Chain A
Amino acid sequence: MSDYKISAKDVQVYYGDNHAIKDVNVDIEDKTVTAFIGPSGCGKSTFLRCLNRMNDTIDICRVQGNILLDGEDIYDPAVDPVQLRAKVGMVFQKPNPFPKSIYDNVAYGPKIHGLARNKAELDEIVEQSLRKAALWSEAKDRLHAPGTGLSGGQQQRLCIARAIATAPEVLLMDEPCSALDPIATAQVEELIDELRQSFSVVIVTHSMQQAARVSQKTAFFHLGNLVEFGETDKIFTNPEDPRTESYISGRIG
């Protein structure tokens, strides 16, 4: 049993002939926010999607190496990716609520995983999830209105509520604020900090300020390599690798 929630060892990802991720080793701690930063196309999103096997849906994508969740290899043939994804939830770059009511959006995960035995329990899960996602006060009077009718920031918080309703152990967030305005971004960031109490969060972001604000650990990716990984404070104030320094000071990327 490893001390880390997730630990990736020598991970290689290929898209057809393209070697997208090279020799990545990362250990992600429980109840911590880990940020992946790096220029566009550096592979941080690709790596994130390896952590709950969302890359399985892409035919030409191949993953090598070991990714351990609580010491178990998630790419083991015996692992069902569907069970894995219930443990490792995901929030996407663009808010993608189902074209259903707010309630149905949040209730969908608990329903398919059988987390609620009756309507009252389901109501409770929906309320708790929406509260955790800081959407309850705005949504409680319109639970049966379509989720797509919310504003962009509200939609993204709805997607977060939907992801945490299944009680995941890890939450992956792929640039969750890139489509949001600064106010909505601030709300989501605050939310991420609170979510850290319950589980480990991995966030991919283009904004270095955001990484600095929300994360405790930061990984810098460049051209498919993990250049540097460590305490966020150290990465931003005293990076070891010259490439990291160039990126955070705005000279490359």
Chain B
Amino acid sequence: MTDTPKFTSLKVQDPRTKKRNAAEKRFRAYGVVAIAIGALFLAALTFTILKSGLPAFTQYVMKLEVTLSQEQFDDAESQLLKTAVYRDIFVDNFSQQLDAQGVDVAYDAAALERMLGKVGGDIRAHYRENPNDIGEPTTFYLQLSSRVEGYFRGRVTRDTLVDSRFLEKADLDIADVLHDAGLMTGRFNWSFLTGKDSGVDNPGGAGIGASVIGSVFMMLVVLFLSLPIGVAASIYLEEFAPKNRFTDLVEVNISNLAAVPSIVFGILGLSVFIQFMHLPQSAPLVGGLVLTLMTLPTIIISTRASLKSVPPSIRDAALGIGASKMQSVTHHVLPLAMPGILTGTIIGLAQALGETAPLLLIGMVGFVAREFPEGVVSGFMDPNSAMPAQIYTWAARADVGFYEKAWGGIIVLLVFLLLMNAIAILLRKKFERRW
């Protein structure tokens, strides 16, 4: 007989078990802490972006009803200094409205000009474009200067403001009165979403619309070039190419290309597409070509991964009943790999959408003097900007008004990225098949 083993209760943990359990607990705690830190950063980032960027979506305007008779229009147009006449008409209407509302405030034309800019020009332009409004009461929403807007947003205070030809402390009192009277109000800034970039001294008029169009055109170029080329290359490499030194070399280099800094692609695009092939500078076509080069490795790598993940038994099954290699790929392997391919493509596109450095090198910071509808027509060859390049341009400008535009642009960019990721998830769900 051997010794009977000593009885040990399962209810008491032995030292080894205790140690292992403690290790497991620690490991889980690390995970929770890591996720918590990540969530914290995300929350802080979201908060900062929204806090700094949301003001870009509102604008402060002076709301004023103006009535201009035909005689006044003809008279003004016959003068030498036309806008000055219009300014006087504006001031007349302004004082009438103040009287009507019983608002009592001392102001002069110069103060109005400091707060509103050259209103005469705006009014003249409106009536010249819309002659039907002559004789009718017309409501004008006049953009306030960036300093007054900054005052309403709390960026400019009486303590920080230094009297200058741009704005005086006394003007702020007028602004307060007008704001209380409802003549100066904030409203949603549609022109930020639809408009083009503005001059360096006019942050209020800057919009991201033109560069959204530039980005959309670039993404179209990237999609229609990189998806077919990338998928075809992956299918050849994965399913047809012989495995030898040369294909190994190709494979290694594709992985290397995926890691090449984007600015390298930028300077390549500059020298090849612009200097050698003489494509126009700042054109979405060139930007799209450069981003295609950048996106291709990503798409090829993800496509090959999803082709690899299709079980070989499916290929055997197809070949076993006499399908050709090509039929087995197009009928069976490709549909099964589709969700992975689409997800990879959209992630590649999203990367390309946020890429800035290569665009700076090929001059995708074109100042587009076109408004929203015309920008769409102008197409692939006309100079344009792109969202990230536009954001970079704004962030580099001196006027603090552009700073909030940059943050606002980032919100627009992120909305586009979220949309693309949502599409990726939807496509994945739609095409996913189980076996």
Contact = CB atoms under 8 A, between A and B. Distances in A.
A163 interface: yes
B117 to A, nearest CB: 65
B242 interface: yes
A97 B336 CA distance: 13
Interface residues of B, number: 22
Contacts of A96: 311, 313-314, 316-317
Interface in B330-369: 331-332, 336
Interface in A52-83: 52, 54, 57, 59, 82-83
Interface in B133-178: none
Nearest to A148: B435
Contacts, number: 71
B434 A85 contact: no
Contact of B322 (A57, A94, A159, A166): A166
A87 B322 CA distance: 8
A113 B322 contact: yes
A59 B242 contact: yes
26 contacts: A54-B320, A57-B319, A59-B242, A83-B322, A85-B320, A87-B322, A90-B320, A92-B316, A92-B317, A92-B320, A94-B313, A96-B313, A96-B317, A98-B317, A99-B314, A108-B321, A108-B331, A109-B321, A109-B322, A112-B327, A112-B331, A113-B322, A148-B434, A148-B435, A159-B317, A166-B321
Interface in A94-113: 94, 96-99, 108-109, 112-113
A162 interface: yes
Given A59-B243, A98-B314, A148-B435, 16 more contacts: A57-B316, A85-B322, A86-B321, A87-B322, A90-B320, A96-B311, A96-B313, A97-B435, A99-B435, A108-B318, A109-B321, A109-B322, A109-B323, A113-B322, A148-B434, A165-B321
B235 to A, nearest CB: 15
Nearest to A86: B322
A92 B321 contact: no
Given A108-B331, A148-B435, A85 B317 contact: no
A86 to B, nearest CB: 3
Contacts of A176: none
A79 B315 CA distance: 21
DSSP class of B's interface residues: helix, strand, loop or mixed?
Answer: helix
A113 B336 CA distance: 22
A87 to B, nearest CB: 8
B3 to A, nearest CB: 39
B397 interface: no
A153 interface: no
A89 interface: yes
Interface of B: 242-243, 311, 313-324, 327, 331-332, 336, 433-435
A148 to B, nearest CB: 4
A161 to B, nearest CB: 11
Nearest to A162: B321
Nearest to B433: A99
Contacts of A85: 319-322
A247 B242 CA distance: 40
Contacts of B318: 98, 108
Contacts of A165: 321
A97 B314 CA distance: 7
Q: List the 7 closest A-B pairs by CB distance, nearest first.
A: A86-B322, A90-B320, A96-B313, A99-B435, A85-B322, A109-B321, A148-B435
B322 A112 contact: yes
Contact of A52 (B315, B320, B433): B320
B434 A99 contact: yes
Contacts of A89: 320-322
A83 B332 CA distance: 19
Contacts of A113: 322
Contacts of B317: 92, 96-98, 159, 162
A94 B314 CA distance: 11
A97 B433 CA distance: 13
A82 B320 contact: no
A54 B315 CA distance: 11
Contacts of B331: 108, 112
